[in-house]
Amino acid sequence: MGAGSKRRGSRPPAGASRRAGDVRSAAPAAAPTVPALPDDVVRIGECGRAHGLHGELRLKSFTDDPAMLARYEPLFDESGARRVIKALRPAPGGATDLFIARIAGVDDRNAAEALNRRGLYTTRAALATLDPPEEDEFLLADLIGLKAVTPLGEIRGTVVEVPDYGAGTLIGIAPVTDANASVRAGARGDTVLLPFTKAFFPEIDIAGGRILVDAPDDVFEADSGDLPPDEAE
């Protein structure tokens, strides 16, 4: 081939247009990355229904000092998205843990409604920095996984949730079937819910992995009609 001739397949000069047959198909666009909620987070609030038309919403705080909620950083919602509380004021009604909030990026009623019932979380490190725990203090999240033990030393189950549906904190215990503390399936629902009071739970030992439960025995007894056929007699 003569000087200046171009072999088939060689790169065209800079700025030269490609022929239709030379155009390569574009690589598929990468799927948007969905942020993940960090592992070491603690639930400190929950978004409620929209308030008005301009993006404000009701917000419930679970922190000891409810108004501190806006100061925790980083703050995440359940999807793992970062959130920033721009403004916080008491909600009508006088409840000290309820607020009207404005969250960055939430600018209309539809965006506010999309956050309804979503929890707000911060890291344990942030929680400890702003509100250092006393020697005998613990987080409600620390109760999950504790063995529920009676005053006689019998294992009744394992704490699996600590919900609050508006009337106070509850302790959810997954019952056991035997002394080996295997979780019972199919009996009286998934969990037994008890009010988190001194009467029901007089002693908590986080380091020992135990919580003392003082409740009537029949609370944890299975209904034989709910047991699998090989267990019901």
- Name, of 7-11, 80-84, 184-188, the range with top average pLDDT: 80-84
> What Rg, from alpha-carbon coordinates, does the chain have?
28
Confidence of residue 30 (pLDDT cuts 50, 70, 90): low
Confidence of residue 152 (pLDDT cuts 50, 70, 90): very high
Contact indicator for 161, 173 with CB cutoff of 8 Å? no
Least confident window among 62-66, 169-173, 215-219: 215-219
Predicted pLDDT at 222: 57
Confidence of residue 177 (pLDDT cuts 50, 70, 90): low
* Residue extent(s) of CATH 2.30.30.240 domains in the chain: 140-226
Give domain 41-130's CATH superfamily: RimM (2.40.30.60)
Q: Could you tell me which residue, 193 or 39, shows the higher pLDDT?
A: 193
Q: Which fold has domain 140-226?
A: SH3 type barrels. (2.30.30)
Q: Could you tell me which residue, 156 or 10, shows the higher pLDDT?
A: 156
* Residue extent(s) of CATH 2.40.30.60 domains in the chain: 41-130
Q: Which two tokens stand for residue 222?
A: 């299975």
- Name, of 34-43, 116-125, 159-168, the range with top average pLDDT: 116-125
